Structure 1
Amino acid sequence: MGTFFQVATGVLLMAQIGTSSGQDEARIARGKYLMEGVVACGNCHIARGEKGEPIFSKGLSGGMVFDEPPFKAFAPNITPDPETGIGKWTDAQLGKAIREGIRPDGSIIGPPMPIEFYRRISDADLEAIIAYLRVQPPVKNAVEKSKYNIPLPPNYGQTVKDIRAPSPKETIKYGEYLANIGHCMECHTPRDEKGMLRLTRLGAGGQVFKGPWGESVARNLTPHESGLKGWTNSEIALAIRGTDKNGVHYKPPMAFDWYKNINAADMNALIAYLGSLKPQPFAGRE
């Protein structure tokens, strides 16, 4: 009888381990899809070459520089290296940094980290992103600290918890969720003189980005004549993946090297959401 219970207990334990392992694999797979697709963290956290092209061989070891009048920001190393990356951070600390903009030492993460949008990441997707980061190869790369000429907020709001993503069946709401965690409007919404997003002009474009690629301007994503009105879904999908409907390839910092991995269902949801935006005239220089 004792042998029977020992065997039964062993089988149960192995089943639990197998279930846990399967859940971990599914979580990492979801994290991989998000990170290498719509969330596109590597668009900032991967170093760039002389022409602004991402150097994928360096992993998420940071180094991209954002040199603007309000700040000179350096994207940090987010590989599991214990000395120069996030290797010593707990999952809870990493989640708080991603979704609330607070480092383990209590300091605030400033722009261009899109905390206002990352606050909407669901608990499940946040866990998946963290699981993916944990299995990345550690890369030793010390990155300079960012410098700000503007005051940073004491926080970005109350503690975030119990966030669920909308069902993919709610196409427009799910598309909005994807646009938020993909921080599309961080670039495609104009800013005021203090660098704050003008949310009353959501999606109207106009921000200018300068880099080794020259100058690029965020286009109007709303269904206005100066935006996406008249574009087909196929043309919008092609543009999100990096090529204008006229065949012109977009410049950085558009994350087309990541957005090309967005699956068809998610792409359709994103496009449906963009079509639901209030039409706005282009907010930049014509």
Structure 2
Amino acid sequence: MRTILAGLVLCSAIARAAAASEPSPDMIARGEALVVAGDCAGCHTADPAKPFAGGKRIDTPFGAIYAPNLTPDRDTGIGAWTDADFTRALRYGTAPDGSLYYPAFPYPYFTRMTKDDTLAIRAYLATVPPVASRNKLPELRWPFSYRSLMRAWNYLFFKPGLFEPDQSKSAEWNRGGYLVTGLSHCGACHTPKNYFGADKDALALSGNEVGGWFAPRLDGAARSGLKSWSVEDLAEYLQSGRNARSHADGPMAEVVVNSTAKMSDADVRAVAVYLKSLPAGPPEPAATVPAEAEMKAGQAVYARFCIACHEADGSGAPRIYPPLPGNALLQSDNPASTLRIMLDGAHTVTTPRAPNTGEMPAYAKQLSDEQIAAVTNYIRNSWGNAASLVTPADVAKARSQGP
């Protein structure tokens, strides 16, 4: 009888321990919010009907990488992983078999995350439907196809370590810093890279070209940074994809739709507070004043194709047609995003806070390289704007990178 009772007690204890180890609804909900803030679906979902099943192609300067399956399928996903496996992958870029991930997976940012947050993310991912989807091998150029080279890359460029709060700053600022420099990995797009694809830390968040677009400066630069933006401007942009100063397009539009528009008001404001506090980084390149003939040619194109929406003074209709005077992205030293919009047109994203749409037609077929260069120089150097000159060769290069 004692043996039976002891067995029952043991079984009961095991059951209680198993129940205690099950993630709570609050932990799963926190994990879902963290997954949204990290825009994990943006890379790990190729088929919207199969969220987090991987397979999406990610082009890098070194070749293509395919995002892996994050669903709890035990054979092709992460269902058989332990918590330690998941934490090691997320914070140190090491797979369960000991192989090293390429930094297209932003573990150099995720390393700043707490263990509790990594486990909350794992708890949420364990609740998504499992999908059998084998991971695709990278298509990288030689010698980058040798994964063992990542040991040298990590030694030179990877600095593991948690986010260190600044005790002189507010809790809101530190939350924003934790998200921007860690989970939300803003620098993956907005920080220039060196020859080996590592961040140039001294130029953090000072802008970077990504896939034919230019991710603009997020520092306090006067012309092409966020000096003229308020915390409210930043929060509105992140939540709705537009504000009275600019509209999101290209890769950033996807980030807004998939991530920042779904984040909590508190987290979005924390990000805005942190970004607004950043000082100006490297000096902005000196602007070049276009020749009078160039400005007249650009003005003629503007009067024919642009003035109906953007008005003669460039004021546009804020939150519908973005204003051009003082537009930070427009005055970036790198004109890639402006040229991409000129050539391909633009579609205003819709979010719960801004459901109305807006369109700008594509001019790739209507305007020559010379005409697009002229009108681009005109709007980048009118109404108090100042920026470097764009050449027809720049437009031809952008045209070749188009869809």
Q: TM-score, normalised by structure 1?
A: 0.80
Whole-Å separation in 2 of the counterparts to 1:169 and 1:285? 34
Q: Distance in 1 between matches of 2:70 and 2:198?
A: 26
After superposition, where does 1:64-143 map in structure 2 within 5 Å?
64-143=56-135
Q: Distance in 2 between matches of 1:164 and 1:285?
A: 31
Which stretches in structure 2 are left out of the alignment for 5+ residues?
Answer: 1-8, 285-331, 336-403
Tell me by how many angstroms 1:164 deviates. 7.7
Q: Residue in 2 aligned with 1:268?
A: 269
User: Once the two structures are superposed, what CA deviation does each residue of 1:209-241 show, in whole Å capped at 9, x if it has no partner?
Assistant: 2xxxxx422111111121111112222123223
Moved more, 152-161 or 23-32: 152-161
* Secondary structure, aligned partner of 1:132: helix
Q: Deviations over 1:31-90 (max 9, x none)?
A: 01111x21111111011xxxxxxx432110112212233131111111111222112211
User: SS at 1:207's partner residue?
Assistant: strand
- Give 1:28's aligned residue: 28
User: Computing the radius of gyration over CA atoms, which structure comes out larger, 1 or 2?
Assistant: 2
The residue number in structure 2 matching 1:223 is: 220
Q: Distance in 2 between matches of 1:124 and 1:275?
A: 28
Deviations 1:12-36 (A, max 9, x none): 98xx68994896211111101111x
Structure 1 unaligned blocks of 5 or more: 1-8, 48-54, 210-214
Deviation at 1:148, TM superposition (A): 3.5
Cα contact 2:71–2:130 (8 A) shared by 1:
yes
Counterparts in 2 of 1:164 and 1:275: CA distance versus 1, 3 Å: closer
Q: Closer, same or farther in 2 for the Cα pair 1:206/1:23, shift >3 Å?
A: closer
User: Is the CA contact (8 Å cut-off) linking 1:108 and 1:154 kept in structure 2?
Assistant: no
Q: 1:159 to 1:104 in 2, by over 3 A?
A: farther
Q: Distance in 2 between matches of 1:87 and 1:200?
A: 39
CA distance in 1, matches of 2:200, 2:95: 27
- Where 1:260 maps in the other structure, the secondary structure is helix
Report the equivalent of 1:187.
Answer: 189
Answer yes or no: is the 8 Å Cα contact 2:192–2:200 preserved in 1. yes
Higher relative contact order (CA 8 A, sep 6+): 1
* Mapped partners of 1:115, 1:18: distance in 2: 31
Opposite residue 39 of structure 1, the aligned amino acid is: G
Q: Which amino acid aligns with 2:334?
A: R
2:238 matched to which residue of 1?
Answer: 240
2-structure distance, mates of 1:202, 1:111: 17
1:195-222 alpha-carbon deviations (Å, 9 max, x no partner): 221110111112222xxxxx42211111
In terms of mean alpha carbon deviation, does 242-251 or 136-145 score higher? 242-251
Check the 8 A contact 2:53/2:71 in 1, yes or no. Answer: yes
User: Partner residue of 1:153?
Assistant: 151
Q: What is the distance in 2 between the residues matched to 1:19 and 1:164? A: 32
Please state whether the residue corresponding to 1:152 is helix, strand or coil: helix
Judging by fraction of residues, say which structure has more helix.
2
Where 2:262 maps in the other structure, the secondary structure is coil
What is the TM-score when the length of structure 2 is the normalising length?
Answer: 0.58
Task: Measure the CA separation in 2 of the matches of 1:27 and 1:140.
Answer: 26
| Aligned partner letter, 2:56 | M
- Residue 105 of structure 1, CA deviation: 1.0
SS of the residue corresponding to residue 251 of structure 2 reads coil
Residue 110 of structure 1 deviates from its aligned partner by: 0.1
Instruction: State the 1:169 CA deviation.
Output: 5.1
The alpha-carbon distance between structure 1 residues 26 and 20, as it changes in their structure 2 partners (threshold 3 A), is farther
Cα distance in 2, alignment partners of residues 68 and 164 from structure 1: 27
Contact preservation (8 Å) 1:244, 1:250: no
Question: In the superposition, relative to structure 1, how do residues 197 and 205 fare at CA in structure 2: closer, same or farther (>3 Å)?
Answer: same
CA–CA separation in structure 2 for the residues paired with 1:206 and 1:58: 31
Q: Aligned to 2:65, what secondary structure does the other structure show?
A: strand
Rounded to whole Å, the distance in 2 between the matches of 1:39 and 1:123 is 15
Give the number of aligned pairs: 266
Cα deviation digits, residues 78-119 of structure 1 (max 9, x gap): 111122211221121111111110001111000211111110
Aligned in 2, Cα 1:126/1:165: closer, same or farther, shift over 3 Å?
A: farther
Q: Distance in 1 between matches of 2:62 and 2:153?
A: 18
Structure 1 residue 183 displacement after superposition: 0.4
Query: Residue 252 of structure 1: SS of its match in structure 2?
Result: helix
Give yes or no for contact 1:240–1:260 (8 Å, CA) kept in 2. Answer: yes
